[in-house]
């Protein structure tokens, strides 16, 4: 079975909604040469669980695993088949799968994240002439503001860009926080994604109130979707 055919098998387990945006990108659109997809089916050949393991630029040493499954046994089998014993992986999964995953894997540094998205009509942009923009060879976006010593005072970038969404990250130097720099770079990046007809997506830990407020001030809205992320290894 080709990668394209395998990907077609799992489309019924994913939606176009923000809750599935990251998993849909890595399982369906990420470079096939850097993606291993394990699918489990029922007696009728219908996909009931999958795990996609992807080599990404997020972490050069730990692949990213994304997964879905409405059959616990099938999900466990997919995890055992796709993950190497003794190796650690980054992961992203629905919070509803936490107990299922915990039965077969150790979880490290897990976070529960709120998922925000931005509509053009809600956008409240901030203009800062100090923002600089670059684009990676892979097409990922990065904007930043430099400090006087030429280090990055603040930067925002895209972790991935799919045919529908673009996920944003932001970093601000600890000694330069609370000056609006993070808001400026996220605003610039959000504007670029909207111009590309992509929906900006902002995933933030549930206890990171300052980051949530940053997004809200720019017009981002909480979708009500939650994501579990962290690192994992097989038990």
Q: What is the DSSP string of 150-185?
A: SSEEEEEEEEEE-SSEEEEEEEE-GGG-SSSHHHHH
The SS3 call for residue 17 is coil
CA-CA-CA-CA torsion sign (217, 223, 224, 228): negative
Could you tell me the two tokens for 4? 């394209």
Question: pLDDT confidence of 2, banded at 50, 70, 90?
Answer: confident
pLDDT of residue 180: 85
Average pLDDT, whole number, for the chain?
A: 94
Question: What proportion of the chain, given as a percentage, has pLDDT over 90?
Answer: 83
Write out the E strands in the chain: 35-41, 47-54, 64-69, 89-93, 105-117, 132-135, 141-146, 152-161, 165-172, 199-205, 221-234
For the chain, first and last CA: distance in Å?
Answer: 30
Q: Which residue has the tokens 């809600």?
A: 122
Sheet of 35-41, strand order: 35-41, 47-54, 64-69, 89-93, 221-234, 105-117, 199-205, 165-172, 152-161, 141-146, 132-135
DSSP secondary structure string for all residues of 20-50: GHHHHIIIIIS-GGGEEEEEEE-TTS-EEEE
Q: Which residues contact 215 (CB under 8 A, 6 or more apart)?
A: 116, 118, 186, 202, 204
pTM: 0.93
Question: Average pLDDT for residues 61-90, to the nearest whole number?
Answer: 97
pLDDT of residue 135: 85
pLDDT of residue 3: 80
Could you tell me the two tokens for 81? 């088949």
pLDDT digits (tens, 9 = 90+) for 122-164: 999 998 888 998 888 788 999 999 988 888 899 999 999 999 9
Flag the least confident range among 4-13, 75-84, 93-102, 211-220: 4-13
Which domains occur in the chain, in start order? 3-114+230-234 (3.40.630), 119-219 (3.40.630.30)
Question: pLDDT confidence of 105, banded at 50, 70, 90?
Answer: very high
pLDDT of residue 20: 98
């Amino acid at each position: 079975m080709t990668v394209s055919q395998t990907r077609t098998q799992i489309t019924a387990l994913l939606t176009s909604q923000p809750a599935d945006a990251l998993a849909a990108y890595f399982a369906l659109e990420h470079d096939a040469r850097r993606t291993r997809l394990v699918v489990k089916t029922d007696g009728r050949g219908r996909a009931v669980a999958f795990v996609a393991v992807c080599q990404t630029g997020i972490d050069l040493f730990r692949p990213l695993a994304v997964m879905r499954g409405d059959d616990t046994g099938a999900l466990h089998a997919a995890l055992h088949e796709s993950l190497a014993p003794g190796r650690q992986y980054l992961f992203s999964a629905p919070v509803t799968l936490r107990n299922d995953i915990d039965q077969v894997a150790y979880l490290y540094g897990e976070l529960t994240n709120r998922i925000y998205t931005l509509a053009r009509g809600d956008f409240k942009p901030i203009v800062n002439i100090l923002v600089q923009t670059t684009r990676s060879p892979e097409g990922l976006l990065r904007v930043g503001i430099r400090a006087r010593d030429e280090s990055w005072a603040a930067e925002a970038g895209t972790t991935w860009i799919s045919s529908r969404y673009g996920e944003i990250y932001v970093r601000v130097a600890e000694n330069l926080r609370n000056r609006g720099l993070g808001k400026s770079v996220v605003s610039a990046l959000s504007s670029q994604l909207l111009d590309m007809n992509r929906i900006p997506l902002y995933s933030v830990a549930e206890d990171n109130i300052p980051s949530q407020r940053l997004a809200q001030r720019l017009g981002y809205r909480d979708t009500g979707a939650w994501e579990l992320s962290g690192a994992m290894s097989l038990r």
